[in-house]
Amino acid sequence: MSHSSKNAVITAIVSNGLVTVIKFIASLLSGSASMANEAVHSLMDTLNQGFLFLGLRESEKPADTRYAFGHGQKKYLWNLWSAIGLFSIGAGLGLSHAWHSWEGLGSSHIIETANVFGHQISALWINLGVLAVGFLLEGYSFLVAMKEFLHRMRAAGETSPITYLAKADDPTLLAIVLEDSAAMLGLTLAALGIVLTAVTGHAEYDIVFSALIAIMLGGIAFYLSFINMRFLADMRDREAERLFMDIVEDHPELERYHDLRSIVIDESHTVLVAEIELKEEAMVNGLRRRILDASQKILNELAKNEHQKTQLQQYALDRASVEVIIGRAESIIDEIEQDIKARLPRVSHITLEVEGICAGTPPEEECKEQPA
């Protein structure tokens, strides 16, 4: 988790928490359906961002005996619960409130003034004042989140925020940006409903715009659920796989690969596995010389005299053969892993298995698998 993403979440929690309180107070004083739904909207935002923070905190835990690749995916699980639960509940409560307000149109009246500490104040100005405060607080949260979002977008080589919304690999930051964007739109809808009701005297406007706010919450729930489901459904990292294929194609000691697979753990960790076949010349050229040198080194370490060297000669030769062949294969694998991690650091775990050695001559013959 980046420090900037965490700051965006904390800023959103504080600002939305304050806005939730003043919106509920204003809705009780004015009786506005739009303001009531905006209060529910802000409450869901606050609770959702609390869930996001918990998910981020859990995802920072290192790998352990139960979670071999760390706890990174927990953030998507918390995000998914939040999207399906809180925003769906918020949309349902909002639509329910709008429906009951619509049913009660004939028996209700528009509240024009409210008693605030013994003073009669216009309900219109109470609502507009609260919405103005909401614009300031949630606008600041929106700017903090957008600053980080645009920074990530430019780092990814994208120029269009709309296009990057579909490609962003940090659903937590994406959730904050969408929630704050929806919060600004919700404030605008609430203001329109309140002003039109005050100007025309028809409460229908207030109720209709409150329903639109609830529908917007439902749309956010659906989109965020879809985004987080991608990361919880064994999603492959196509960029990492393409990079591996390019490296194999350009590597002078690799013939081909098989069974290439990858899985995204989180936006900072990808696991990649594959089987590779080595070219014959990569293993055979200079092999005898290396084995003899390694064999002599082993004899020098184990034998104290020529008699012992004679007795241990075959053992040293066998052991040297194994060490040299395995060591050469491991050095090639290390080169590939270092190249991948240098060019795409999020590939944190790489498992490559040497499937065989491909004969260099004759070229028209198929490779005979000779496990190293």
Please write the tens of the pLDDT for every residue from 162-182.
888 777 777 777 877 887 888
Instruction: Please check whether the domain covering 238-358 is classified as CATH 3.90.1150.10.
Output: no
pLDDT along the chain (372 residues), means of 10: 67 85 82 76 81 82 77 78 71 79 63 57 75 85 86 84 76 79 83 84 82 82 78 80 91 87 84 88 79 86 77 86 86 91 91 78 46 43
Q: Work out whether strand 119-122 and strand 254-266 pair parallel, antiparallel, or are unpaired.
A: unpaired
Class level of CATH domain 3-231: mainly alpha
Q: In this predicted model, what pLDDT tens digit does every residue of 72-121 receive, in sequence order?
A: 777 778 878 777 766 677 778 778 877 877 877 655 545 555 555 555 66
Taking phi over 0 as left and psi of -120 to 50 as alpha, with beta for the rest, 201 belongs to left
Domain ranges of the chain: 3-231, 238-358
0.75 exceeded by pTM: no
